[in-house]
Amino acid sequence: MTRRSREYALALHFRSDPKYLSQVRRQTFQLARRAGFNQVISKKISLAVDEACTNIIRHTYKGKESLPILIRGMNHLDRLEIRVRDFGEKLDLSTLPDKPSAGKRAGGMGLGLMRTIMDEIIFDTSVAMGTEVCLIKMKVPKVKPLKKVKKERSRAKAANKNKKSANKKRINKAKLKKHGSRSQKKNSKRQRR
């Protein structure tokens, strides 16, 4: 297995031997983490890439362990894009199911699992030889949990209320200094009479 990363965040070239899949999962997990995904999502992304490679080994290469697989990962501002390419027969897109199968089938979940994990999957058969599968996971802006937002809002309201009452006290003190209290005004009027 060789790792080249000049123009890509990740570039792996390896033989279709299942023994390399653990390294593929580890490398794609690290790529997803660097892209900003949490540990759970990163593990799922690496599982989707593993399934794509397993499908190539099992269906395209029919278990032959010496054929090449190329993985390229690109970290964009809004998405993580991982391309998995084989150099076997072109995939007949008409044979792919539109939706994940309802029942479990022997050998894993394959395409259904990949579709569940990733936001978009694009099959490209326009390459000179083989098929390239592009797995895309969109980056979602980090959103605070609702409980934290409510707590922050209530704290902000309380702080704002405290500021308002402090401002009122300050204004009242300033008025008292400038004009004096009402009782002082009444006393001064009485004294003048």
pLDDT of residue 124: 92
- 95: which DSSP letter? G
Q: Where are the domains of the chain?
A: 2-138, 146-192
CB 54 within 8 A of CB 65: no
Q: What is the pTM of this model?
A: 0.66
CATH of domain 2-138: 3.30.565.10
Instruction: Assign 6 a pLDDT band (cuts: 50, 70, 90).
Output: very low
Chain segment 31-51, per-residue pLDDT in tens: 999 999 999 999 999 999 999
At residue 94, the pLDDT reads 76
Distance CA 156, CA 33 (A): 33
pLDDT digits (tens, 9 = 90+) for 168-186: 777 766 666 666 655 555 5
pLDDT reported for residue 5? 39
Locate 124 and state its tokens.
Answer: 């490209």
B/e letters for 83-93, b = 16+ CB within 10 Å, e = fewer, are bbbbbbebbee
Mean local confidence (pLDDT), 94-98? 73
d(CA 185, CA 13) in angstroms, rounded, equals 92
What pLDDT does 3 receive? 46
DSSP 9-23: SEEEEEES-GGGHHH
